[in-house]
């Protein structure tokens, strides 16, 4: 099934860069592009300013959605593009859209007045709650999305001993589409209370943790590596916190991929590591739901 790549737009510069990324992503996957704008706030303006029925919304449709579609078509002239304006808030609209998308792409910041925020509330909420992969095109790095990014590696944080991680498979697919290396990273460190006196760590506490990281990499990479044999995989186990290791790895990467787990079937949990990379990574971040 050729599910489209969907991009959420709101007229901000950040969302325009997301359009560029989504267009290139759709071209790489050979699928259509769908541009979505959630216009609930505009309905409130109707009540405040008493605009003619449909008048202001039609203007916004022309300016935001049609302009975004034209931008995408200029970038990839033969792209199949659909547009949609939905009179609801952006978070529920984009959450629903993600269910029928091969990937949902959003910018890192919207048009709100809190420009000092590292990540907009909509992007954070959607990345944390969507049922499908969400790519947040963020940071100073995001203006390099698109064809130039194809020459750089994909980075994935490999979870604990997951034999079939959706995030790892997503990362392999992205690397295969771009014909770039995949850097699979697993962090490890000794906690302060672990000493040579620890019963299980006597003599070599660091070695035990490092070997556990190596084992986690091998477990997580085995099946997808067989599925994508052409992908060059660079395995890295690094001493340090997962947050620090992944943020360092995001420098000069095309995309950083992390997983998010669903607790008890209600939404996705954004852990501290995922929260940190969404706010501070030097490249776009893909958050992929992991099923129990």
The domain that holds 15 is classified in CATH as 3.40.50.620
The reported pLDDT for the residue numbered 292 is 64
- The verdict on 229 and 171 lying in the same domain is yes
CA distance 203 to 190: 13
The reported pLDDT for the residue numbered 206 is 67
- The verdict on 94 and 161 lying in the same domain is no
The reported pLDDT for the residue numbered 117 is 43
The reported pLDDT for the residue numbered 150 is 53
Let me know if residue 211 belongs to a domain.
Answer: yes
Quick one: which H or E segment has residue 173?
helix 166-178
- The verdict on 12 and 136 lying in the same domain is yes
The reported pLDDT for the residue numbered 149 is 53
Report angle CA 242, 248, 254 to the nearest 5 degrees. 110
* Residue 84 burial by Cβ neighbours in a 10 Å radius (0-12, 13-18, 19+): middle
Instruction: Give the residue from 95, 112, 140 where a domain finishes.
Output: 140
Instruction: Give the residue from 89, 119, 140 where a domain finishes.
Output: 140
Let me know if residue 235 belongs to a domain.
Answer: yes
- The verdict on 9 and 121 lying in the same domain is yes
The tens place of each residue's pLDDT in the chain, 292 residues long, gives: 689 999 999 888 888 999 999 999 999 999 999 999 987 644 433 434 444 555 566 666 667 888 999 999 999 999 999 999 888 888 999 999 999 999 999 998 755 444 434 467 888 889 988 889 999 997 554 444 444 455 689 999 998 767 889 999 999 999 999 999 999 999 887 665 554 444 444 446 667 867 888 888 999 999 999 999 999 999 999 889 999 999 999 998 999 999 987 655 455 567 889 999 999 999 999 999 987 6
Let me know if residue 145 belongs to a domain.
Answer: no
- The verdict on 269 and 222 lying in the same domain is yes
The reported pLDDT for the residue numbered 261 is 77
Q: Which domain holds residue 27?
A: 5-140
CA distance 42 to 45: 5
CA distance 245 to 185: 8
Let me know if residue 120 belongs to a domain.
Answer: yes
Strands (DSSP E) found in 88-172: 103-107, 134-137, 154-157
- The verdict on 136 and 158 lying in the same domain is no
The reported pLDDT for the residue numbered 138 is 77
Let me know if residue 12 belongs to a domain.
Answer: yes
Instruction: Give the residue from 106, 140, 174 where a domain finishes.
Output: 140
Total number of domains in the chain: 2
The reported pLDDT for the residue numbered 57 is 60
| pTM for this entry | 0.84
Q: Answer left, alpha or beta for residue 54, where phi above 0 means left and psi between -120 and 50 means alpha.
A: left
């Amino acid at each position: 099934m050729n599910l489209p790549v969907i991009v959420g737009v709101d007229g901000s510069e950040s969302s325009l860069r997301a359009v560029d990324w989504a267009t290139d992503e759709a071209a790489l996957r050979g699928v259509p592009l769908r541009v979505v704008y959630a216009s609930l706030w505009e309905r409130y303006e109707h009540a405040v300013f008493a605009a003619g029925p449909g008048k202001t919304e039609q203007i916004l449709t022309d300016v935001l959605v049609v302009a975004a579609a034209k931008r995408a078509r200029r970038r990839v002239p033969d792209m199949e593009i659909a547009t949609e304006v939905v009179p609801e808030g952006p978070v529920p609209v984009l959450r629903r859209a993600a269910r029928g998308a091969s990937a949902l792409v959003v910018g890192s910041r919207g048009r709100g007045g809190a420009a000092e925020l590292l990540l907009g509330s909509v992007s954070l909420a959607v990345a944390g709650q969507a049922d499908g992969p969400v790519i947040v095109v963020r940071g100073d790095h995001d203006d390099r999305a698109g064809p130039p990014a194809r020459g750089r590696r994909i980075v994935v944080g490999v979870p604990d001993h997951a034999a079939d991680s959706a995030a790892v498979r997503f990362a392999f697919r992205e690397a295969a589409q771009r014909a770039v290396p995949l850097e699979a990273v697993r962090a490890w460190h000794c906690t302060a209370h672990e000493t040579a006196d620890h019963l299980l760590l006597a003599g070599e506490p660091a070695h035990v943790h490092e070997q556990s990281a190596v084992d986690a990499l091998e477990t997580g990479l085995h099946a997808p590596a067989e599925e994508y044999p052409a992908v060059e995989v660079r395995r890295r186990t690094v001493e340090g916190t997962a947050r620090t290791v992944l943020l360092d790895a995001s420098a000069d990467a095309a995309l950083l991929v992390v997983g998010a787990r669903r607790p008890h079937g209600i939404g996705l949990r954004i852990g501290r590591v995922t929260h940190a990379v969404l706010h501070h990574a030097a490249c776009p971040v893909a958050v992929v739901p992991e099923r129990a």
